Amino acid sequence: MQKAWFYEEHGPKEVLKLGELPIPTPRANQLLIHVYAAALNPIDFKLRQNRLSSLDFPVVPGCDVAGVVIAKGEETWKFQAGDEVYGNIQKFGSGKLKQIGTLAEFTVVEENLVAEKPGNLSFEEAASLPVAAQTAVEGFRTADFKKGQSVFIVGGAGGVGSLAVQLAKYFYGASFVTATTSTGKVEMVKKLGADKVVDYTKTAYGEIEEKYDLVYDTVGDSRNSCVVAKEDGLVIDITWPPSNPKALHSSLTVSGEILENLRPCLDSGKLKAVVDPAGPFDFNNVVQAFGYLETGRARGKVVISSFSSLHLATAITCNANNGFH
């Protein structure tokens, strides 16, 4: 058995319980991961709140994970027990989501959904990246963004926005990057690489003279933010449904390959993980962490540092070495 956060009914954060659930057994193409850190995403609380979502209870929330491989299925080949990995374990759009998410001591994931954790990142930093990075990359792909184009990013301090600013500048070669945020986060977004930061509490979209090749809206305000797009520019909205019917919706592709492609930027330090300074939250304080995330005021990602059952992990590793899959 393992300790995990789970819910057995839809509702507010108070339906979450800390208790014991069985440790999942990896299938042929899966890895069993000892969770060292996890990150929260809006999808985690939206699924919990949505009574129409088709979930099998109990549900352990969580998509983002960073940890150590403990055991592996017989059809895995890339990673071995002891390897440090990170990724998004939930392959959205492929059917039912896993019941055992990442807010547990152990979770399972298909091998092709994770990547080797960069050595210069802590487990907390690595856990903050997968969903946000995959979403950010998908937006630029959907827009077919070209080197030398300009981009206006709405929500430059959020989980996706903070990575979109950096990717635009250092990975996609944008000629000019502007991002919006509130007053207290302006300096943070400048440090991420934005050439210009617009304080949305002081400046309306209609007051912005510049026009951009791409408006990348991470907060769902594309109905209004579209006014800063060039006449032939594109508007990307990662929320569903987009508030602007002319905006292109972008979700994410879940793949460890995306994280591997970003490895040079991570190794060089050009692409930095943005962990909200209120955290990392202790594993015992998950309800508090969700409360903070649901305010919509987080800077970057809300991260959980999962406590480690080292004795249990050691026992599982020994069983794995003796043929456990």
Mean pLDDT value across residues 89-107: 89
| Residue showing tokens 């994970």 | 65
Residues forming CATH 3.90.180.10 domain(s) in the chain: 2-129+273-321
- Provide the token pair at 74: 């017989």
In the prediction, which pLDDT does 323 show? 42
Q: Which has the closest alpha carbon to 273: 151, 183, 159?
A: 159
Residue 309's pLDDT is 61
Average pLDDT for 98-111: 96
The band of 311, judged by pLDDT with boundaries at 50, 70 and 90, is low
DSSP bridge partners of 216: 153, 236
pLDDT averaged over every residue in the chain? 93
* Lookup: tokens for 161: 């926005």
CATH of domain 2-129+273-321: 3.90.180.10
pTM, 2 dp = 0.92
Please report the pLDDT score of residue 97 as a whole number: 87
The dihedral of CA 74, 76, 81, 85: what is its sign?
negative
Q: Locate tokens 């002081």: which residue?
A: 202
**Mean pLDDT confidence for 117-122:** 97
CATH of domain 132-249: 3.40.50.720
Compute the average pLDDT of residues 151-159.
97
86 confidence band (pLDDT: 50, 70, 90) = very high
322 band by pLDDT with thresholds 50, 70 and 90:
very low
**Which residues in the chain are classed under CATH 3.40.50.720?**
132-249
Asked whether the predicted pLDDT for residue 310 surpasses 70, the reply is no
